[in-house]
Amino acid sequence: MTQPLQVMKFGGTSVGDATCIARAAQIVAGAAKGMRVVVVVSAMSGVTNRLIEAARRASEGDTAAGGALVESLRQQHRAALAVLVLGETARAAIDRELEEVLAEGKRLYDGTAMLRELTLRTLDIISSLGERLCAPMFAGALNQLGTKSRSIEATELIVTDSYHGGAEPRAEETRQRSAAQLLPLLAAGEVPIVTGFIGATQDGKLTTLGRGGSDYSATILGAALNADEIIIWTDVEGVLTADPRLVPDARTIPEISYREAAELAYFGAKVLHPKTLRPVLPESIPVWIRNSFAPEKPGTKISQKGKSIGGGVKALTAIRDVALISLGGPGIVGVPDVIGRTFTTTAELRADVLLISQSSSQNDICFLVSKPHAHATVDALRKEFAQDLAHEVVDHITVDPNVAIVAVVGENMRGTPGVAGKTFNALGQEKVNLIAIAQGSSETNISFVVDEKSMQHALRVLHKEFGLGHPPAG
């Protein structure tokens, strides 16, 4: 009988330094005694941001930034390696792998600075370096513990489309490649350490899955291998009732449904990349969120059913990095294609529309996109509606970058009387001004837009209103 299969993903803080990697490797070594384990690793925390920032500088002609970063990454990874891998020969072999990755980085930075040009494709390769430095070290740490392991680049496993910076996996090809590459290793008792965050097109061009995408890598591989479970190891004890950095008394939720967790992820709960749960839905593979710094804690189980609390509010979330775009004017009443043209425009830009609201008089449509998409969206809309603006059918297309979306999430919430009333009453009493309310039909969330400055206050008010925090002591 084959052993059960688990995919485990370790995020940036869980591999942040040698001590963290050693702790993570202990978790894997323990699990690998009783089952087949595939590991997905992120870059050491902060590395991806630094890689991208240096790329930006190089593209502005800074010829020193890339080299300085490569040297600093060399020091950082060598220092960790020296603690994790004690055997000279093993360490030298890993060091050579790291040097290859670093040399590739240096060439890319030099080229970028020389041309003063940074294509999305080059940025993807630069962004991938952190994961590609981390995976060989992690494999070394496991071998040191006596668990046979080797690193594998996800470019060999995850086949994607060619949308650089946010590529989509192709499920069937990924399934074939992952099975062909990983199953024999697992059968031989090895633990493959896969680079998170990246994939490659059919013809081998490296792509990334979007920032924070290692969570998605884990579920893509979990689905491809038909894993029994996926565990996302991070720096908090699970999915919490709110972002603990914003609401200090947020509590860990023991069980939550795919829909609820997906809604939280979509509306900004950083603990999960927004697309994480997509691959596991068809086969209902359970996903656990657990704390690599406290592995004795059970964490949160995300599954098909989750645990019903009989309908009602389970958690809150917020997204700050958004902009409100509004388009309107007296003339848009009776112009039937305004909505169609607006959202065809956003779709062409691949700008994710996070929330839509239309005033009842139909004079104004407003919607939210992520901040990096805001300017391009407004420019494209001004082009699309140039005639209508000239003839004053549309009199304004504006953007407000100082807003946030707050979402109240729970299964069957719309069917639970009073949740919307309670939400808006509590906010009204606390004088939180609502800029727009979503008109979505989701049963699982109520979302609204507030001034960015009021976001934290709104979260705390609602967290208290719905009794989501820790019960008072005593």
Residues engaged in binding Mg ion (CB under 5 A): 11, 212
Residue 433 · residue 390 · CB < 8 Å: no
Residue 258: partners with Cβ closer than 8 Å, 6 or more residues away: 277, 280, 281, 302, 303, 304, 306
Work out the end-to-end distance of the chain between its first and last CA atoms, rounded to an integer number of angstroms: 50
The DSSP annotation for 106-150 comes to HHHHHHHHHHT---HHHHHHHHHHHHHHHHHHHHHHHHHTT--EE
Q: Which residue number, 150 or 320, has a Cβ lying nearer to Mg ion?
A: 320
- Asked if 212 interacts with ligand ADP (CB under 6 A), we say yes
- Asked if 48 interacts with ligand ASP (CB under 6 A), we say yes
User: What residue number has its CB nearest to ligand ADP?
Assistant: 11
Tell the smallest beta-carbon distance from residue 247 to ligand ADP (Å): 9
Question: In this chain, which of 31, 40, 43, 261 binds ligand ASP, going by CB under 6 A?
Answer: 43
Query: Quick check: helix, strand or coil at residue 228?
Result: coil
Distance, CA of 271 to chain centre? 7
Total residues interacting with ligand ADP, rule: CB under 6 A: 21
Q: Any alpha helices (H) in 60-117, and if so which ranges? A: 65-84, 88-115
- Asked if 66 interacts with ligand ADP (CB under 6 A), we say no
With CB under 6 A as the contact rule, which of the stretches 114-122, 162-170, 264-272, 391-399 interacts with ligand ADP? 264-272
Residue 172: partners with Cβ closer than 8 Å, 6 or more residues away: none
Q: Which residue number, 7 or 381, has a Cβ lying nearer to ligand ADP?
A: 7
Tell the smallest beta-carbon distance from residue 24 to Mg ion (Å): 14
| Host H or E run for residue 421 | helix 419-429
Tell the smallest beta-carbon distance from residue 117 to ligand ADP (Å): 30
Q: What is the DSSP pairing of strand 206-208 with strand 198-201?
A: antiparallel
- Asked if 236 interacts with ligand ADP (CB under 6 A), we say yes
Q: Which residue number, 213 or 238, has a Cβ lying nearer to ligand ASP?
A: 213
Q: Take residue 75 and report the two structure tokens written for it.
A: 């020091």
Angle between helical axes of 120-144 and 47-59 (0-180°, round to 10): 150
Q: With CB cut-offs between 5 and 8 Å by kind, which of ligand ASP, ligand ADP, Mg ion, none does residue 222 bind?
A: none
Residue 261: partners with Cβ closer than 8 Å, 6 or more residues away: 239, 272, 277, 287, 302, 306
Question: In this chain, which of 245, 297, 305, 307 binds ligand ADP, going by CB under 6 A?
Answer: 245
C-alpha 98/C-alpha 139 separation (Å) is 13
- Asked if 256 interacts with ligand ASP (CB under 6 A), we say no
C-alpha 57/C-alpha 128 separation (Å) is 17
- Comparing CA positions, the residue from 353, 455, 462 lying closest to residue 409 is 462
C-alpha 9/C-alpha 131 separation (Å) is 12
Q: Which residue number, 29 or 126, has a Cβ lying nearer to ligand ASP?
A: 126
Tell the smallest beta-carbon distance from residue 215 to ligand ASP (Å): 6
For 135-170, give one letter per residue: b (16+ CB within 10 A) or e: bbbbbbbbbbeebebebbbbbbbbbbeeebbbbbbb
Q: Take residue 469 and report the two structure tokens written for it.
A: 């925090």
Sketch the per residue contact string, 306 through 345, with ligand ADP: x for CB under 6 A, - otherwise.
---------x-x----------------------------
Sketch the per residue contact string, 83 through 122, with ligand ASP: x for CB under 6 A, - otherwise.
----------------------------------------
- Asked if 42 interacts with ligand ASP (CB under 6 A), we say yes
Tell the smallest beta-carbon distance from residue 244 to ligand ADP (Å): 6
C-alpha 426/C-alpha 448 separation (Å) is 14
- Asked if 301 interacts with ligand ADP (CB under 6 A), we say no
Sketch the per residue contact string, 3 through 32, with ligand ADP: x for CB under 6 A, - otherwise.
--------xxxx------------------
Q: Take residue 262 and report the two structure tokens written for it.
A: 């997906």
With CB under 6 A as the contact rule, which of the stretches 232-240, 277-285, 337-345, 441-449 interacts with ligand ADP? 232-240
Strands (E), 244-329: 255-257, 287-291, 300-303, 315-328
- Asked if 169 interacts with ligand ASP (CB under 6 A), we say no
Tell the smallest beta-carbon distance from residue 194 to ligand ASP (Å): 13
Tell the smallest beta-carbon distance from residue 180 to ligand ADP (Å): 28
Residues 120-149 that bind ligand ASP (CB under 6 A): 130
Q: Which residue number, 27 or 209, has a Cβ lying nearer to ligand ASP?
A: 209
Tell the smallest beta-carbon distance from residue 239 to ligand ADP (Å): 5
Distance, CA of 151 to chain centre? 22
Question: In this chain, which of 213, 222, 238, 328 binds ligand ASP, going by CB under 6 A?
Answer: 213
Q: With CB cut-offs between 5 and 8 Å by kind, which of Mg ion, ligand ASP, ligand ADP, none does residue 245 bind?
A: ligand ADP
Instruction: Please report, for residues 243, 260, 312, the alpha-carbon distance to residue 249 in angstroms, rounded to integers and kept in the order given.
Output: 10, 20, 19
Residues near ligand ADP (CB under 6 A):
11-14, 42, 212, 234-236, 239-240, 242-245, 264, 269-271, 315, 317
